[in-house]
Chain A
Amino acid sequence: MIDETASTTDDTQRDASIGYRDIIRALVRDPLVLVSVIFLTLLILSAIFAEIVAPMDPLIPNIFASRLPPLSYATGLDGTEQLHLLGTDALGRDMLSRLIFGARASLFVALVSVFVSGVLGTCLGVIAGYYGGWVETVVMRAVDAFMAVPSLLIALFVLFIIGGGLVNMILIFALVRWVVYARLARGITLSLRETQFVEAARAIGASNARIMLRHILPNMISPLLVLATLEIALLVLAEAGLSFLGFGLVPPEPSWGLMISRGREYMREAWWMITLPGLAIFLTTLSLNLIANWFRAVMDPVQRWRWLM
């Protein structure tokens, strides 16, 4: 182990601090990730500025232009000729506009829930793993309880009682998904707290809080990040699923899940109505996964140089 590290040492002086320039250079050398980053950036920007970007109002129907295939023209309600780049749905609403507004709902729900559940789960997991004893018992039994029931089922049940909507969905997702982070964080903490550098930190008089925050947490960022990206993908799907079943966002609010649910009825005659929102979900999750993988490598000080060289 020591010989290995010795050989990588002196030959080149590697500057450990990385700037924007290094990251951009590394991105350009990895076209797949670059495309993912561009796609997600555009998606997020258009979700934020949906009112400006979207060509039409996503909520106003136009019965005379229903189920138009992509790239067709139709006379709008104001009498002018309009291009429906990605076609229209059963009520004649513009697909592109609905996808853009749907991105806002899907991404917002997924990102906020992942953030809330990630922070909650990681904190509880680290504390459980670090202190052990009854704290661990309480937290981990709660985790087991949540794991024993499919989380979508709990979400379904609670949303049925308290009703759907954006805020309720976020709260429910945070409530059912924190357990996966808690499990991961506890497992890593268990192994890290026995390491010599944690013992060394204790020997310099570091407090428990400092050890958890400064020594244990940074060492689990990579796996947590990967888990979080996978969870975003999962929650985009869950949001879609719940909305599809009618427990999530309420129509006519645009959401990818709702669009698939409506498009299902016209699968034979209007393929774009179900394919396009499906594609949106697929591309978003795929980009997230690719970026997660790349980000993990760049975040890891041991692997970083391969990517930045």
Chain B
Amino acid sequence: MAVVDVKADMQSDQPVLDVRDLKVTFQTPRGHVHAVNGVSFHVEKGEALGILGESGSGKSVSVGAIMGLLESPPARIEGQVNYRDTELISAPASVTRSIHGDRIAMIYQDAITSLNPSLTIGNQIGELFKVHRPNMGRREIQAKSIELLEAVGIQPARERVNSYPHEFSGGMNQRIMIALGIALSPEILIADEPTTALDVTVQAQIMRLLGDLRGQIDMALILITHDIGLVAENTDRLMVMYGGGPVETGPTDAIIERPAHPYTIGLLNSIPHDDMKGKKLIAISGSPPKLNEMPKGCVFAPRCAMAKDMCRKEIPVMTRIAPDHSSACHFAQEVVDG
């Protein structure tokens, strides 16, 4: 906490969320599973951070740890999650409860299962106010819920506020989730694959809506996805994760233009383009490592086309290749230079 105190008088420069060396281990009968191995990142006020990775890369578990959703045991969480001056992992439940939902909100991939089927959506939006703003009256809550539904484009909000989740389409439900997420004007909104279950057209609408709302309340966004196109369009900075840890971090544009890790290159190559007609799409061979049988050296080495002996023996550390751009590859510089 001492470090944070020194920083306290320079509030404006301090990131809203600072995650340091986060490790999550699950204790299972078959041994320990290292789901997240030392993830560090920070989010500045109002910025959009993308976390990119395939299934099993540890992105959702990292978020679970930040939001206090992991049950422990079996999960063991180490490291720090600092929201401004509060360290969330060691903080008592009463403190984290007042921050989650209010200052840090989250929206999920599958909106329809994230909404309680037996409560009206008005009820569910109202609950946020009841939990975090106990002084608000019923009328006020009702008015605010209607206002929020209008803000996310659900019409006619006054009538729809009494509907149940099953009476809405998937895209509508995701809009309701967003209304829930932004209800208390949080500083950080974590979106865990918010558009994966939706059509491409609806996906674009939802992302545009998120962008608009974000501008209005100066809210930071953490966008978690496996869709590289989505992060390219919607984020400022990017963290690429693989096998439970970050492999590359930096500004989104820089990573997409000059990727510095073979895994990122593999991801970029697996997107189809117009000029590839008739050619074979290049996929990354193999599959992600099992989390309880991690390779000895670089986690990506078994699937890496450029892997050398060194990669199978030594774990690479994050090395800086540009002021704000780092990669966890022994040969990062060579990779960038092509």
Q: Does A207 contact B (CB under 8 A)?
A: yes
A2 touches B197 (CB 8 A): yes
Residues from 194 to 214 in A contacting B, C-beta threshold 8 Å:
195-197, 199-207, 210, 214
A301 adjacent to B162 (CB under 8 Å): no
- Is A80 at the interface (CB under 8 A from chain B)? no
Q: Are B102 and A205 in contact (CB under 8 A)?
A: yes
Within the complex, the shortest CB–CB distance from B101 to chain A, in Å, comes to 3
Q: Kindly state the separation between the CA atoms of A205 and B103 in the bound complex, as whole angstroms.
A: 10
| CB of A219 within 8 Å of the partner chain | yes
- The answer to whether B169 and A202 have CB atoms under 8 Å apart is no
* Residue of A2, A203, A215 contacting most chain B CB atoms (<10 Å): A203
Instruction: Take A2-B169, A5-B166, A16-B162 as given contacts and tell me if A204 and B101 are in contact as well, using a CB distance cutoff of 8 Å.
Output: yes
Chain A residues positioned under 8 Å from B168 (CB to CB): 5, 9
Taking the closest CB of chain A, its distance from the CB of B252, in whole angstroms, is: 26
Q: Is B43 an interface residue (CB 8 A)?
A: no
Q: Which residues of B contact A200 (CB under 8 A)?
A: 106, 108, 114-115, 180
Verify if B61 is at the interface (C-beta below 8 Å from A): no
Complex interface: chain B residues within 8 A of A21 (CB): none
Known: A13-B159, A204-B128, A302-B117. A5 touches B108 (CB 8 A): no
Per-residue B-contact encoding for A24-62, CB less than 8 Å = 1, 0 else: 000000000000000000000000000000000000000
Set of chain B residues within 8 Å of A1, measured between Cβ atoms: 112
Q: Using Cβ atoms and an 8 Å threshold, which residues of chain A touch B116?
A: 197, 201, 215, 218-219
Indicate if the CB atoms of A301 and B166 lie closer than 8 Å.
yes
A202 to B113, CA, bound (A): 14
Bound complex: CA A6 to CA B69 (Å): 30
Q: Known: A219-B117, A301-B164, A301-B166. Contact between A9 and B69, CB under 8 A?
A: no
For the complex, give the distance between the alpha carbons of A16 and B162 in Å: 6
Task: Name the A residues within 8 Å of B113 (CB-CB).
Answer: 195-197
A14 at the interface (CB under 8 A from B): yes
- Nearest neighbor of B106 in chain A, beta-carbon distance: A203
Determine whether B18 belongs to the interface, using a CB cutoff of 8 Å to chain A: no
Cα A215 to Cα B110 in complex, Å, equals 18
Given A15-B162, A17-B162, A204-B101: A197 in contact with B115 (beta carbons within 8 A): yes
| Contact, CB under 8 Å: B167 / A218 | no
- Known contacts A196-B114, A205-B99, A219-B116, A9 near B169 by CB under 8 Å: yes
A218 adjacent to B159 (CB under 8 Å) = no
User: B28 at interface (Cβ–Cβ under 8 A)?
Assistant: no
Q: Does B143 make an interface contact (CB < 8 A)?
A: no
* In the complex, per-residue mask of B118-136: 1 if CB is within 8 Å of any chain A CB, else 0: 1110000001100110000
Asked whether, in the complex, the Cβ of A205 is within 8 Å of the Cβ of B169, the reply is no
**A197 CA to B107 CA, complexed, in Å:** 11
Q: How far is the CB of A228 from chain B (nearest CB, A)?
A: 17
Bound complex: CA of A302 vs CA of B116, how far in Å?
12
Given A5-B169, A203-B101, A204-B128, residue A301 in contact with residue B117 (CB < 8 A)? yes
CA distance A39 to B118 in the complex (A): 31
A-B contact pairs, 22 of them (CB 8 A): A5-B168, A5-B169, A8-B166, A9-B167, A9-B169, A10-B169, A13-B159, A16-B163, A16-B164, A196-B108, A197-B113, A199-B114, A200-B115, A203-B67, A204-B105, A205-B98, A205-B100, A206-B101, A206-B131, A207-B97, A207-B131, A215-B116
CB-based closest 10 A-B pairs: A204-B101, A2-B170, A6-B169, A205-B101, A205-B97, A16-B162, A205-B100, A301-B164, A218-B118, A196-B113
Q: Which residues of A contact B (CB under 8 A)?
A: 1-2, 5-6, 8-10, 13-17, 195-197, 199-207, 210, 214-215, 218-219, 221, 300-302
